[in-house]
Amino acid sequence: MQKEDPRYHKGILIGIAGASGSGKTLVARTLYEALGSEKVMVLGEDSYYKELSQFSFEERAKFNFDHPDAFDHELLADHLERLLNGQTIEHPIYDYSTHTRKKETRTVGPHQIIILEGILVLSVPRLRELMDIKIYIDTPADVCFIRRLQRDINERGRNVDDVIRQYQETVRPMHMQFIEPSKRYADIIIPHGGKNVVAIDIIKSKIEKLMVEIE
């Protein structure tokens, strides 16, 4: 087992949750740029979708990707613990167009600050227990849907009908059942997502204070 890197103490974990299309990635990227890329890494919950290559493409396309069971949260938590202790991980790479993990992985870490973003990261007790700051991005549902529609068509090879069907059948129901209720665990709720400059500045100041405390 890899020894803990003596240059690093326990890292800082910031969890960012919210609906698909709420602006989580923009907030994570803004913090990443503000704090300095040499200290910060961003980890996406989406990379930890469970392996589905044993199913046909047609079967994979019907899976509920917004339910907690769609994710390998145990592996994600194990990787976060390693990163927080100054170790590296083999980060999975997910192919959204085929709904499978790629065979290759990417070695990442260690970094002092880890930003974890994903729709369900505040709904999993083991993940919450590792977080120093818990954030929920609160964005109107219509804005989230439009952003998701644009993203899935432009970046993930989906068509309009499939995106609408998935939104109606799983995305919206799972949001109401799992994602929206996780808001109660947040330390900070941010309206307007990554465009809320005041909220991001406050979070940045808090992270910088935590960095001083662990050095």
Please tell me the distance from the alpha carbon of residue 21 to that of residue 172, in angstroms, as a whole number: 12
pTM, to two decimals: 0.87
d(CA 88, CA 145): 35
Which residue carries 């740029």 as its tokens?
A: 33
Q: Could you give all domains of the chain from N- to C-terminal order, each with its CATH number?
A: 12-199 (3.40.50.300)
Tens digit of each residue's pLDDT, the chain (215 residues): 344 444 445 789 999 999 988 989 889 998 888 887 778 899 999 999 998 888 888 888 788 899 999 999 999 999 999 999 999 999 999 987 788 888 899 999 888 899 999 999 999 999 999 999 999 999 888 888 888 888 888 887 788 888 888 889 888 999 999 999 999 999 999 987 667 888 888 998 988 888 887 66
For residue 81, CA distances in Å to 10, 110, 129 come to: 9, 11, 11
